[in-house]
Structure 1
């Protein structure tokens, strides 16, 4: 597959890709570093990945690892093989932004908070659908499990780390009720990556957050799909507005 890469040139002609701490699976390290470089713009759309020999030297890995890493990038929509031109970086419109590695890089390099804004909007829309479905189909046993998560939130409202974990548990239990497995899976990915961002964890008003969850629970308990949808959408959007730091000055 070496013909898929541009002909080797002096190392100085290519950007140095900062390798992360070596992982047990070398390909994971290489893919993560290359994804970061593409998302940051170090490797611009239309440019070629550095040749195999250059990447092997930069990462200290074999050609096999580099070739497999290039395949993973192609699967994520970040690059494409162009005959005679090497492996070309694709524009953001082609990226699989729900891919965990790509999404993590987008959040980590989100200087303007635009990605987190979009993530919250998408999450609000999907979780609203999930809550609506949960209200329509929940069983008594499922409602009790949801009640347990809400009670844990009430019991830990003065302990932010434990409250945060109870908050996650509440949303997971709502997701367990829905029949929309796709929406639940996407939400879990979005929420997991958002929580990895320090900017997502700024202190918010826990008592207000608790009341918002109580409204969602009450709607699901009452089997009121319209109210459950509205309550969950409002909670996700309002919670992000409370914790969102001011946009950086440009």
Structure 2
């Protein structure tokens, strides 16, 4: 097996253990020799894995000392490898809070700068979304594309980059929310309200419509979490 694949396996295992709280912040990792024995690999593989975990913010590596699990505020929780290795639902409420701070402001600014082409793109995406009721992943992709179009309409590359950074976790929340009856129809409805405000250059209206849309999404995510809790209690 290639060295990179071996190191990726170590990274995934530690991301899972850190994310599940099996290993708490401040906990020292075993020395390199112990890690080599544990995973049956050479030092170069272990060092590559430790460097990757350090770059992702989950451990702190200092020359001449044992690596330790980093404080939670340093974790790159939007890292795709971390999301794949853990239960991302824990971060759904935090993502929703971030969206409610960022996206109404994006819609407000977009109303001042939106082009006819950007508006046409949003309309087309919303029409496609209205036809998606059986494929949650396709729904997620189209919904992300719509909100990305709003961000790009601000013509501010920094804001676009900030918005893009949350789409990995955002795909997961959208797939979960799509399971709630009527969720897609409600999304289409609020997208239409956002489009109407953007078309008329009404920044306050666009921001308000986006806020109400995200309030709707928050309730749908709450419904999915309530359902998951009920299913877990019923299985116990």
The equivalent residue for 1:56 is 36
The equivalent residue for 2:187 is 209
Once residues 30 and 68 of structure 1 are traced to their aligned partners in structure 2, the CA distance between those partners, rounded to angstroms, is 10
Aligned to 1:196, the other structure's residue is in SS state helix
Within 5 Å, which residues of 2 pair with 1:89-238?
A: 89-105=69-85, 108-109=86-87, 113-154=89-130, 156=131, 158-161=133-136, 162-196=138-172, 199-205=176-182, 206-238=184-216
Aligned to 1:61, the other structure's residue is in SS state coil
For the pair 1:39 / 2:16, whether they are aligned, the reply is no
Once residues 228 and 136 of structure 1 are traced to their aligned partners in structure 2, the CA distance between those partners, rounded to angstroms, is 10
Please report how far the alpha carbon of residue 221 of structure 1 lies from its aligned counterpart in structure 2 after TM superposition.
0.9
Q: Residue 123 of structure 1 contacts residue 191 of structure 1 at CA under 8 Å; is this kept in 2? A: no
The equivalent residue for 2:219 is 241
Richer in helix (by share): 2
RMSD over equivalenced CA pairs, Å: 2.9
Q: Residue 78 of structure 1 contacts residue 89 of structure 1 at CA under 8 Å; is this kept in 2? A: yes
Give the TM-score taking structure 1 as reference length.
0.76
Once residues 53 and 248 of structure 1 are traced to their aligned partners in structure 2, the CA distance between those partners, rounded to angstroms, is 42
CA 1:59/1:183 → structure 2, altered by over 3 Å: closer, same or farther? Answer: farther
Aligned to 1:48, the other structure's residue is in SS state coil
Deviations 1:41-73 (A, max 9, x none): 222222211222332233333211211221122
Aligned to 1:240, the other structure's residue is in SS state helix
The equivalent residue for 1:25 is 5
Please report how far the alpha carbon of residue 147 of structure 1 lies from its aligned counterpart in structure 2 after TM superposition.
1.5
The equivalent residue for 1:9 is none
Give the TM-score taking structure 2 as reference length.
0.80
Please report how far the alpha carbon of residue 120 of structure 1 lies from its aligned counterpart in structure 2 after TM superposition.
0.9
Once residues 177 and 24 of structure 2 are traced to their aligned partners in structure 1, the CA distance between those partners, rounded to angstroms, is 28
Structure 2 stretches lacking a partner, 5+ long: none
Please report how far the alpha carbon of residue 213 of structure 1 lies from its aligned counterpart in structure 2 after TM superposition.
0.8
Please report how far the alpha carbon of residue 118 of structure 1 lies from its aligned counterpart in structure 2 after TM superposition.
0.9
Aligned to 2:67, the other structure's residue is in SS state strand
Structure 1 stretches lacking a partner, 5+ long: 1-21
Please report how far the alpha carbon of residue 151 of structure 1 lies from its aligned counterpart in structure 2 after TM superposition.
2.1
Matched length: 225
Once residues 86 and 232 of structure 1 are traced to their aligned partners in structure 2, the CA distance between those partners, rounded to angstroms, is 47
